[in-house]
Amino acid sequence: MQRKVLIIDCADASGLITKITGVCFANGLNIIKNSEFVDNAQGRFFMRTELEGERFSPSLANDIQAILPERSRIRLVDSGKKRIVIMVTKEAHCLGDILIKSYSGALDIEIAAVIGNHQVLQPLVDKFDIPFYYVSHQDLNRSEHESKILEIIAQHAPDYIVLAKFMRVLTPEFVSQYPSQIINIHHSFLPAFVGASPYKQAWERGVKIIGATAHFVTDSLDEGPIIKQDVIPVDHSYSAEDLARCGRDVEKSVLSKALQLVINEDVIVYGNKTVVF
């Protein structure tokens, strides 16, 4: 038995569920799990269906496309292990969490490579027999630096790229090559404290809760579609450094959860938002 995930995103219309599940049924496929959402404000229909069958007709996606409204988006992807490339700078917590989760099977991923603009995390990556590429930004302009990185990424053909505390802003040219495929962790509860030093900003403002936000990367810094957010309570006794230290636990937890959702094909991007089934 094979398993695939069907993702549909189209204009809302009458009878969509009947028609779509009808095609699946006619193809001898069993629906393992089904989720729909209609955004009434925008008249948009979203559906995620886990299908199981002995055989998937090569024309299945086309057959479904045929009964959908015009300009529908449809994806039919295999369940199972996804390839990712991780980009890092100096901090170990998010990377370390993904390494352990991949090692123990908690995340069904293959880490094809880790790319760092500093070398400090190489020893950690080496322990897990994963290629580490040190690509310093020293003496390179942004475009040259990104070209080198893009070349390495291209070699590894990842399904998704994870910025696990990669502390440099990516150019629109970079981002445009991997639309809705680059996941970033921002160390604040966006949109609070955009920009640099969010923990210092949080300390100065005297907030009683801090958080982290995992989002897809778009051209606008800290403005991409949010996948997952979480928070922890803090109090007056936390220095800015304490906030940063405690925040790391939320960062790694939120990033791992977002990655889990994304590789599970639970996330549909539309406009600047996500539907997360």
Contact positions vs a copy of itself (CB under 8 A): 14-15, 17-18, 21-22, 24-25, 30-41, 91-93, 96-97, 99-101, 103-104, 106, 124, 127-128, 189-193, 205-209, 211, 225-231, 235-237, 239, 245, 248-249, 253, 256, 272-276
CB distance 116 to 87 below 8 Å: yes
Which residue's CB is nearer to a copy of itself, number 153 or number 162?
Answer: 162
Q: What are the DSSP calls for 121-184, one per residue?
A: THHHHHHTT--EEE---TT--HHHHHHHHHHHHHHH--SEEEESS--SPPPHHHHHHSTTTEEE
Least distance (Å) between residue 220 CB and a copy of itself: 12
Least distance (Å) between residue 202 CB and a copy of itself: 9
Q: Which of 198, 261, 265 is nearest to 234 (CA)?
A: 198
Which residue's CB is nearer to a copy of itself, number 117 or number 274?
Answer: 274
Q: Which of 73, 105, 122 is nearest to 113 (CA)?
A: 122
Least distance (Å) between residue 155 CB and a copy of itself: 25
Instruction: Check residue 21 and give left, alpha or beta (phi > 0: left; psi -120 to 50: alpha).
Output: alpha
Angstrom distances, CA of residue 13 to CA of 27, 49, 97? 23, 18, 43
Q: How far is 76 from 206, CA to CA, in rounded Å?
A: 47
Q: Are strands 109-116 and 82-88 parallel, antiparallel or unpaired?
A: parallel
What tokens appear for 75 in the block? 């994806």
Least distance (Å) between residue 229 CB and a copy of itself: 4
Active-site residue flag, 222: yes
Which residue's CB is nearer to a copy of itself, number 147 or number 197?
Answer: 197
Active-site option among 222, 230, 235, 266: 222
Give the max Cα distance, the chain: 63
Catalytic residues: 222
